[in-house]
Structure 1
Amino acid sequence: MRILTLFIALIALPVFAGESCGSYVKDGKTHLIPCDYGEKLPTKRSCHAVIIMVGKKHIFKQVCEEQQQQQRTIQVVEPSGAFKVRMSQYKALVNSLSAEHGIDNALLHAIITVESSYHADAVSEKGAMGLMQLMPATVDALGIEDPYDPQENINGGIQQIKVLLKHYNDDVQLTLAAYNAGIGAVKAYQNTIPPYPETKHYVKTVQTYQQRFSTDWQNHIQDEP
């Protein structure tokens, strides 16, 4: 069967539903190729259209490349001042619960640092609560009575982390990505870190804090003598 492949050169444009990502001429008429043809495509991509003509059938395909996005700088701050005071209030509890459940205490401190900066009464715009920013659905599923109680909140967060670590075969990056964006988001991108700037920045920041708390900042998370 004779297959004719036509490549349509296009200026790189962001992809949004309803935009045209190329055109082809058939029977004297110009037909536009929608950018959302087939599967829904993420924005922030540059695309050109490929038309594969098999007999009388037209098969459309998008060939896309991710646009280079400016990388957010990962900034971590050594505990001091009010932050260090808040941290000292809870670090013994964090260390005790992490040891009880077999979770790296540096990882747990890193998550709490990024999630709430050790504010036990923190509430996000999306309704996440407490030190580990538990969502209402998680609170209900775990039977947590008071999500602002430090021990209940940390226990709940640990349970969630343990489930994710088991699900992702101890892959900390995917565990953090799912903790931030949800299992569904990680699954949607074939079990990789979703390309959301917030999630990518979250994973890198938590892991940077984890590394520092495991090495030169270890004194900040050690129990008081």
Structure 2
Amino acid sequence: MKFEKTVKFAILALAALLSAGAFIVPKKRIEEKQERYIPFAERHRQKHYKISPYDSLIRAWSDSASLDWRFVSAIVYHESHFRHDAVSRRGAIGLMQMMPSTAAHYGADSLLDASQNVMAGTRYIKDLYRSYGKVAADETERKKLTLAAYNAGGGRVEDLINYTRYRGKDPSYWDNIVSVIPEMRADSILTLDTVKLGKFNGKETIEFVEGVMARYHKFKRIAP
């Protein structure tokens, strides 16, 4: 009889503990740990990494031109490695390696001044970007054509587009243009009316487009 009472008491006690939630403590502890870790994960995701000392400046001028500042930063990286006083043998100056004649068109007269340089550069990129809106297949291809023009000049890119069409390929894709560039190194190109500026080596331009796009994708990962 005493044993039966003991068993009955134990069963009732166990039922009371279960109803009170005494055995879900481990789950609560797990949830508490998750709550501690989630804020850390959120902070880690939201952390913005600095690309260069000119991030704020590049952001401001890029925003004013409706451009992705990381795209512009990738151009600056390849042009000058963020050196505001860089001067090339061809006479290009500053962060974005602007030619004085081009920069003057956008109101910049002191290209060693970082703000003026980036202002002129972003406005120039915006104009180039607009000009390929109806040519490029999508936004990525539009960026590639813009980069090609920034490096080789708009007239040269017009030649590339026209010659690619002449060869029966679609110039809305940069890879199709790249595929015909070797042909533009031959003397025979000089006899074509579709090509206005003559022969074109193109290796530097191809490397520039590929390099900037790769850097742009990297900057997008580290500076979301």
TM-score by length of 1: 0.56
Query: Shift in Å at residue 139 of structure 1?
Result: 2.0
Identity of counterpart residues, as a percentage?
36
Q: Distance in 1 between matches of 2:78 and 2:95?
A: 10
Partner Cα distance (1:158, 1:179) in 2: 11
Which residue, out of 133, 144, 148, partners 1:173?
144
| Residue 123 of structure 1: aligned partner | 87
**Which amino acid is 1:181 matched to?**
A
Coordinate RMSD, CA, aligned: 2.0
How far apart are residue 143 of structure 1 and its match? 2.6
Matches of 2:108 and 2:143 in 1, distance apart? 25
1:159 counterpart = 2:123: yes
Q: Cα deviation per residue 1:17-51 (whole Å; 9 max; x = unaligned)?
A: xxxxxxxxxxxxxxxxxxxxxxxxxxxxxxxxxxx
C-alpha distance in structure 1 between counterparts of 2:53 and 2:154, whole Å: 32
What corresponds to 1:90 in structure 2?
54
Deviating above 4 A after TM superposition, structure 1's stretches of 4 or more consecutive aligned residues are 191-194
Runs of 5+ consecutive residues of structure 2 not aligned to the other structure? 1-48, 134-138, 163-170, 172-176, 182-201
Is 2:182 aligned against 1:218? Answer: no
- Partners of 2:116 and 2:79 lie apart in 1 by 16
2:209 corresponds to which residue?
203
Q: 1:120-173 CA distances to partner (integer Å, 9 max, x unpaired)?
A: 000111000000000122022223121111110000000100000100015111
Taking the aligned partners of 1:198 and 1:112, their CA distance within structure 2 comes to 16
- Partner Cα distance (1:102, 1:174) in 2: 17
Deviation readout 1:155-205 (Å, 9 max, x if unpaired): 000010000010001511110000000011111122555631100000000
List runs of 5+ in structure 1 lacking aligned partners. 1-83, 220-225
| CA distance 1:162–1:121, change in 2 (3 Å) | same
> Normalised by the size of structure 2, how large is the TM-score?
0.56
How far residue 92 of structure 1 moved from its aligned partner, in angstroms, is 1.3
Q: Quick one: distance in 1 between partners of 2:206 and 2:52?
A: 28
User: Which has the higher Rg, Structure 1 or Structure 2?
Assistant: 2
SS in 1 for 2:161: coil
Answer whether contact 2:100 2:109 (CA < 8 A) is retained.
Answer: no
User: Structure 2 matches for 1:105-144, cutoff 5 A?
Assistant: 105-144=69-108
Provide the C-alpha distance between the structure 1 equivalents of 2:104 and 2:64, rounded to a whole number of angstroms: 23
Distance in 1, Cα, partners of 2:158 & 2:63: 30
* Shift in Å, 1:91: 1.1
Greater strand share, structure number: 1
